[in-house]
Chain A
Amino acid sequence: MQADTCFHCGDPCDRQLITFDEKSFCCTGCKTVYEIFSTNDLSHYYELQEAAGSTPKAIEGKYDFLDNEEIIAKLTEFNDGNIQIINLYIPTIHCSSCIWILENLNKLNKYVTNSQVDFPKKTIRVTYKNEDFSLKNLVLLLAKIGYEPYISLEDFEGKKKVSDRSLIYKLGVAGFAFGNVMFLSFPDYFDLGSSAASGGEYWLNKYQDVFRWMMFIFSLPVVFYAGWDYFVSAYKGLRAKLLNIDVPIALGILVLFLRSTYDIAFNLGSGFFDSLTGLVFFLLLGKFFQQRTYSFLSFERDYKSYFPIAITRLNLKGKEETVPVQEIQKGDRILIRNEEMIPVDGTLVYGNAQIDYSFVSGESELVAKEIGEQVFAGGKQLNGVIEMIALKSVSQSYLTQLWGNAVFKTDKVTAFQNLTDSIGKRFTIAVLSIAFIATAFWLYYDPSKAMNVFTAVLIIACPCAIALASPFTLGNMLRIFGKKKFYIKDTQTIERLSKIDTAIFDKTGTITTSQKSTAHYEGMPLSPEEESILKNTIRASNHPLSRSLYDLLKEQNIITLDEYEEHVGKGLESSKDDINMKIGSANFVGKGSSENLLDTSIYISSNDAYKGRYVFQNQYRDGLSTVFKNMSESMNLAILSGDNEGEKERLEALLPKMTPLYFNQKPETKLDFIKSLQEQGKKVLMVGDGLNDAGALAQSNVGIAISENINVFSPACDAILDASKFQQLYSYILASKKAMRIIKMSFVLSLLYNCVGLYFAITGQLEPVIAAILMPLSSISIVIFTTLMTNLIGRKLS
């Protein structure tokens, strides 16, 4: 088998076999990369990881826009005329060989001075000399070795993502202060109950004030920098008349600080600085744990991530010029090359359009357009050069105007009150009442202790453990789901997912696989010779349908055809001995118009006599019926498809009875459908895949994008589910419900700790050391409890 797979990329070489240097390659592209690597002493690439490479694609002319100075200036990170630094996103980075070769770019080209890969983000940062070399050369070099960077309109609009490191700083400050305050508290811990008056350790008492005021100094940055967000959030909550969980936390921090300062100022005790700094540190740790997500995935994509930066425009004299896409106006004549994206709606005026709308609809089948027909933005031309006249500007095209909808400007996070905050409200009220009742009692009984008890209650009731339960449970669930190839944007999404009662699915690409891998033959049987010619003819074709059919047909010996011709956009023609075959569209083979417009078929004729056709069918994902059956027991389901009704009967047979099926849905109608469900009080889950689902995904309570390959683009959503795990969708929803139950259990646990603490506080016996023990103990036990329980759930998931 060794000989049959490509030495460079590992793909089988059944279509074409090139032998070079005693190694086999699947195409000239792979061979070229191997040649480049081996002549530059970089063949170590193949030792690190076998068949690590990816096949380079033809990209002629695609990057001409990188000659434009203005565009270079926007894309580069640093540019002083001699040296330029750029960060490029390369989706094909996938293994250690990739890192190695990309960090050795300087051996392939002397102008590159330094290159550094960020593997999790799949980016490379290249420093290069600008003399006799340019960004375009660099991109071409990368593309030549199979690492074509992805440059989109989004990069151009230049919101340079500044990574927010403030939480790490805050965590550092709090941890630093926490550790030092603990050390400085040691004298007090060891010298319990003694003071200068009652004897005790002489030097500890003498220098007591030094230690205490140093603790005070350490706690200042903790309160006013690290913990400041809690005050801001509590203030915002109160102003919006909401008692969120940050209100009791902010109250706790404030009281801890004031009471401790008061204690040391009047020499009443050592204060609670250790508890204060520890509290803030643990809280920030929880935030940090919750924040870490998938840097290689983007959940925020809109059409700008898909669209090219610049496009070739033909000016009045017929000369080509490169212009940024935003400058395209109605009436401009645009040239679209092979593999280029169509950025605006327009009319085709030249060439054979074979357009792949899979970004838009998830449908991988090519759509052929004739001159004079309309082409829509978002499609990718796959068949040579076409020319078109723009009918609209970029932002007003059929697809892109969807992003004008208000739903893309609202934030799901702010509109949702999470479990912790709703508990926080009751909790705050309870704590405040206890504090006032206890104070009232002591005012009557022993007024000197009243203030002491009041502050002690607020300190000990500070809901540190409650605030930690949710970040640690959900943060851990996020990681567990990630391992199971279900990538969730943030922890709050898990909470929303657990409340879902309605699930809406897109059809094409979501519940069907993108490869059309089933086809059946209708018509007169083919003779063995004809079958052999058929297989050998489509072997040479790169049309997606030919490729699918090639894989489906049974093995044939490779024969040399006497004649072979590809009629672009129509079909293939070949002959061997006395048989002449035509394979392609109905018109092409002389069948007249196709019988059924709803099907996708390849028609075959032999010696001008129609033989039959291969009808392709949507291949539904494995386990689709089971998933729907299970889900229908607890929630409402529906299918929203942008396609025609061709598959209606098959779907009805597969899905539970009475599942509503809606066809011919436009992107906006999908969005409105979800909205109307939500107005009825439903919590809607949308499962989709293409850009046409983007509106519905944004409107829904939880939008999940299904993706065959998570490195390929998926629209903005709350979660990305790897297509191979589609069958597990329902068990993931159930797991999210279980996670919420764990949080509730941790609330009970932490309330128990609070009761113990409150006993000390109300009776006026709260010593700093008790607080210093109780606070970390409750926090750590909650962390351990939630981690163990979520891992238990994770183990049950497959």
Chain B
Amino acid sequence: MSVIYILLAISLVVAIIFFVAFIVSVRQGQYDDAYTPSVRMLFEDELVKPMKETGNVVKSEE
């Protein structure tokens, strides 16, 4: 039954990975603006078209 130590360790590691991911995303400011990305998401198709026409190098979504 000492396999339970391994299982506990795995579950803990998985939990901590998600926790760290959360902290990192907050630190990057991903939760500061919760509205604009929802609008920006809808633009992407339109962004491609003028890019080809003008041949400009455009940085897409950040």
Contact = CB atoms under 8 A, between A and B. Distances in A.
Contacts of A117: 36, 40
A118 B42 CA distance: 16
Contacts of B5: 210
Contact of A106 (B8, B26, B53, B59): B59
A37 to B, nearest CB: 11
A121 interface: yes
A113 B29 CA distance: 20
Given A44-B46, A96-B39, A119-B36, A165 B26 contact: yes
Interface in A164-189: 165, 168-169, 172, 176, 179-180, 183
A119 B39 CA distance: 9
A203 B5 CA distance: 12
A99 interface: yes
Contact of B8 (A42, A113, A114, A214): A214
A207 B59 CA distance: 55
Nearest to A119: B36
A163 B58 contact: no
Contacts of B33: 118-121
Contact of B50 (A107, A120, A172, A203): A107
A788 to B, nearest CB: 25
Contacts of A165: 26-27, 31
B23 A169 contact: yes
B12 to A, nearest CB: 8
Contacts of B50: 41-42, 44, 104, 107
Contacts of A610: none
A121 B27 CA distance: 18
A100 B11 CA distance: 43
B53 A41 contact: yes
Contacts of B56: 106-107, 110
Taking residues whose C-beta sits less than 8 angstroms from the other chain, chain B's interface range is: 20 to 34
Contacts of A183: 11
A42 B59 CA distance: 16
Given A118-B32, A176-B15, A210-B5, A113 B59 contact: yes
B1 interface: yes
A172 B23 contact: yes
A114 B22 contact: no
Contact of B26 (A96, A116, A172): A172
Interface in B1-35: 1, 4-5, 8, 11-12, 15, 19, 22-23, 26-27, 29, 31-35
A501 interface: no
A11 interface: no
B58 to A, nearest CB: 6
A114 B32 contact: no
Contacts of B39: 96, 99, 119
A106 B57 CA distance: 9
Contacts of B34: 120
A16 B26 CA distance: 51
A172 B1 contact: no
Contacts of B47: 104
26 contacts: A40-B54, A41-B53, A41-B54, A42-B50, A96-B43, A99-B36, A104-B58, A106-B56, A106-B59, A114-B59, A114-B62, A118-B33, A118-B36, A119-B39, A163-B29, A165-B26, A165-B31, A168-B26, A168-B31, A172-B26, A176-B19, A180-B12, A183-B11, A203-B1, A203-B4, A210-B5
Given A99-B43, A119-B35, 20 more contacts: A41-B53, A44-B50, A96-B43, A99-B39, A103-B40, A104-B47, A104-B50, A107-B50, A114-B62, A116-B62, A118-B32, A118-B33, A119-B33, A121-B33, A163-B29, A163-B32, A168-B31, A172-B19, A179-B15, A210-B8
